[in-house]
Amino acid sequence: MGKPRLLPDPLTPNDFNDSINPIMAARRASFKNWWVGNLLNQDRSILEKMLIFWHNHFAIEDDVVQDPDFLWQHFSMLRANALGNFRDLVRLVTIDSLMLYYLNNRLNVKGAPDENYARELQELFTLGRGSGYTEDDVKAMANVLTGHSINYTTFTYEFKPNNHETGDKQFSAFYNSTKIIGKTSMGGGSELDDLYNMIFAKDDIVSRFLVRKIYRFFVYYTIDQFTEDNVIIPLANIFKSNWDIKPVLKKLFESAHFMDMISQSCNIKNPVDMVVSPFRMFNASFSAAPTDEQKYNIWNSIRNQMVVLQMEPGNPPNVAGWQAYYQEPQYYEIWINSDTYPKRMAMIDTFITGNFRNSGISLKPDFLAWVDANISDPADPNVLISELSALLLGLDISTAVKNAYKTSYLLTGQVTDSYWTNAWNAWKSAPTVPANITGAYDNRLKPLIIQLLKLEEFQLS
């Protein structure tokens, strides 16, 4: 991404002002649309899911840090380390230009320490609120972090020794009364190593704090004592052995607890999953080869749905991330309310009707072809309704409901299975004939899929 200008040091309020530099807003939007494209087109991988997790954990607001170069560098760093080592990731976040700007550590200088990043490093990023660190620890940590700033010519991290507090930094009994010895000149930057040695020595607290967040993200927001003892603590013990992320995820996803029916479909889908999942589930594709502009415009309309549902990638509401991940006792229930629920239903209608479009090109599945490829015997309405509901919902629905849906939608109110079978076979024998498409899809399959996607079960993950 080319830079539209170089930034002065220090920054003034106008340097990141969209009305003065409108190209910045356009480039940020372009980046976020590209991100939506990644979400839609990713391979079968946990990477993009973990990028959302870390984005919520190390939350930033792109409309506060308005520079697109900082945004690109930040998310490239998160993506590259999303499945790597957590301790390394925390250090990289500390010296990340975007975070240095967002949480003001660029302003943290000797004689006038700024405590913002030092506080969030402990409260939000590593230890958790109420873990035992003190206000004096925040002050001491802020002094350790003085001088870590931004080079506004290269848009990269720079340690500025003249801004660093060279005195010793004394910490509380929570940190075993650790004293970080002050260093001068460029050696002051190495105090970060002492700082992270001290933080990660609280390995039980750090590991359990992070594992609980991972558990709530992937499984369920309620952690009872059984789960704490039999899931959280064993995973934390794996995590703290070397702080690698992937072994923790692997152990969780392979566990009997994760596979247990009681652990499935516990959470309400977040808006990103709600919007992206039907596109990926049904293998949506462009109706014709799009230009780059058309592609980005369609991705933009999909991103706007996430905004409407109150979760725009790149722009959580504050440094703590989205409320649904931390606000007790509601947690994920926050995603659905009287405002967002009808908008979720409207999003399904827009998806089904192919109205994510630009200049005559739409991003939409071929539902008949998908059913033909994924249902074992699509001509049998009983097989179709049973397998389709299982694939879309992840939960079984009662025989009575299946029969009601079969009659209402696939049989259009009739009682004989052949009403669907004949319509399906007619389409199968001549799939390009408009009347056959109307008979199988528009009159029968389409309203059934709409009904299934609007069930409460589809809101769960």
**What would the pLDDT profile of 48-107 be if each residue is shown by its tens digit?**
999 999 999 999 999 888 889 899 999 999 999 999 999 999 999 999 999 999 999 999
pLDDT at res. 22: 79
Whether the full predicted model's pTM is greater than 0.85, yes or no, is yes
Bigger pLDDT: 3 or 155?
155
Per DSSP, the three-state class of 219 is: coil
Task: Give whole-number Cα distances, 409 to 123, 127, 277, 285, 401, in Å.
Answer: 53, 53, 23, 26, 12
What is the C-alpha to C-alpha distance for residues 291 and 433, in angstroms, rounded to an integer? 29
- Partnered with residue 158 across adjacent β-strands are 149
pLDDT at res. 129: 96
Q: Is the model's pLDDT at 9 over the cut of 60? A: no
Phi, psi of 149 (to 5 degrees): -145, -155
Q: Is the model's pLDDT at 227 over the cut of 50? A: yes
Per DSSP, the three-state class of 30 is: helix
Report the percent of the chain where pLDDT is more than 70. Answer: 95
Any residues with CB less than 8 A from the CB of 100 and at least 6 apart, and which?
Answer: 106, 117, 148, 149, 150, 157
For residues 263, 266, 271 and 277, what is the CA-based torsion angle, rounded to 10 degrees?
50
Q: Is the model's pLDDT at 13 over the cut of 90? A: no
Cβ distance 60 to 74 under 8 Å?
yes
pLDDT at res. 144: 98
What is the C-alpha to C-alpha distance for residues 7 and 12, in angstroms, rounded to an integer? 9
DSSP assigned state of 109 = B
Q: Which of 460, 220, 457 is nearest to 325 (CA)?
A: 220
In the chain, the N- to C-terminal Cα span, in Å, equals: 35
Per DSSP, the three-state class of 182 is: coil
What is the C-alpha to C-alpha distance for residues 296 and 361, in angstroms, rounded to an integer? 12
Mean pLDDT of the chain: 94
Q: Which stretches of 6-112 are DSSP H helices?
A: 22-41, 47-57, 68-81, 86-94, 97-102
The string of pLDDT tens digits covering residues 190-213 is: 999 999 999 999 999 999 999 999
Residue 25: pLDDT band with limits 50, 70, 90: confident
Q: Is the model's pLDDT at 20 over the cut of 90? A: no
Bigger pLDDT: 67 or 142?
142
* Least confident stretch, 60-74, 295-309, 322-336: 60-74
Q: Is the model's pLDDT at 4 over the cut of 50? A: no
Cβ distance 439 to 368 under 8 Å?
no
Cβ distance 388 to 452 under 8 Å?
yes
Task: Give whole-number Cα distances, 317 to 17, 61, 321, 343, 351, in Å.
Answer: 19, 7, 6, 20, 27
What is the C-alpha to C-alpha distance for residues 188 and 200, in angstroms, rounded to an integer? 20
What is the C-alpha to C-alpha distance for residues 241 and 191, in angstroms, rounded to an integer? 23
Q: Is the model's pLDDT at 11 over the cut of 70? A: no
Per DSSP, the three-state class of 314 is: coil
**Residue 208 buriedness (CB in 10 A; 0-12 / 13-18 / 19+):** buried
Residue 15: pLDDT band with limits 50, 70, 90: low
Q: Is the model's pLDDT at 388 over the cut of 60? A: yes
* Least confident stretch, 1-5, 348-352, 380-384: 1-5
Per DSSP, the three-state class of 169 is: strand
**Residue 173 buriedness (CB in 10 A; 0-12 / 13-18 / 19+):** exposed
pLDDT at res. 5: 39
